[in-house]
Amino acid sequence: MKLTKTLATATFALSSMALLWSGQMASADDYSDYSYSYSYTSSDSSNLYPVGQCTWGVKSIATWASNSWGNGGDWATNAAADGYNVGTTPVVGSIICWTDGGYGHVAYVTDVSANGQIQVLESNYAGNMALANYRGWFNPTNSVTAGAVSYIYPNS
């Protein structure tokens, strides 16, 4: 049973990485009911954030995000200045930003429930530097990540 679960997890992780590397947008169905992680040393010069930081993790998935948005807490303001729409409604494929008065935090939204809970992929959460879904379903405005919440939406 353990070997089967491990192989299934590895297969899912590999298919998810292939989806990311192909440049296709991931959907909520790609992540439902799975918790997984992957890590790699990126030689991709399009992501200039430090490997393992939350900004690096989000930029790895949301390649449309800018390298010049700074710390996670600054992303919403800087994205708006770059012409991206920013709001307070979670949408699959958006970037959630927490502004806590310090560095802040960002994550990539992979699923949204009818009751407002979300699932995200993130790195540098609770000491985990790999990109993964560490929280499962959670309320982003009532979580262990402090601060005001906003979302950056990809331009169509």
Listed by start position, the domains of the chain span 2-153
Please state, in angstroms and rounded to a whole number, the distance separating the CA atoms of residues 132 and 97.
Answer: 17
Please state, in angstroms and rounded to a whole number, the distance separating the CA atoms of residues 84 and 141.
Answer: 22
Please state, in angstroms and rounded to a whole number, the distance separating the CA atoms of residues 59 and 53.
Answer: 10
Residues 71-105: tens digit of each pLDDT: 999 999 999 999 999 999 999 999 999 998 799 99
pLDDT at position 101 = 78
| Interval 55-68 mean pLDDT | 97
Please state, in angstroms and rounded to a whole number, the distance separating the CA atoms of residues 83 and 33.
Answer: 34
| 49 pLDDT above the threshold of 80 | yes
Query: Which CATH architecture fits 2-153?
Result: Alpha-Beta Complex (3.90)
Sorting pLDDT into bands at 50, 70 and 90, what band is 15? very low
Sorting pLDDT into bands at 50, 70 and 90, what band is 142? confident
Alpha carbon distance, N-terminus to C-terminus of the chain: 43
- Which residues, 6 or more positions from 153, have their beta carbon under 8 angstroms from its beta carbon? 84, 85, 86, 87, 91, 93, 94
Residues 106-128: tens digit of each pLDDT: 999 999 999 999 999 999 999 99
pLDDT at position 43 = 52
Instruction: For residue 71, count CB atoms less than 10 angstroms from its CB and return exposed for 0-12, middle for 13-18, buried for 19 or more.
Output: middle
pLDDT at position 44 = 62
pLDDT at position 57 = 97
pTM score, whole prediction: 0.73
% pLDDT > 70, the chain: 72
pLDDT at position 139 = 95
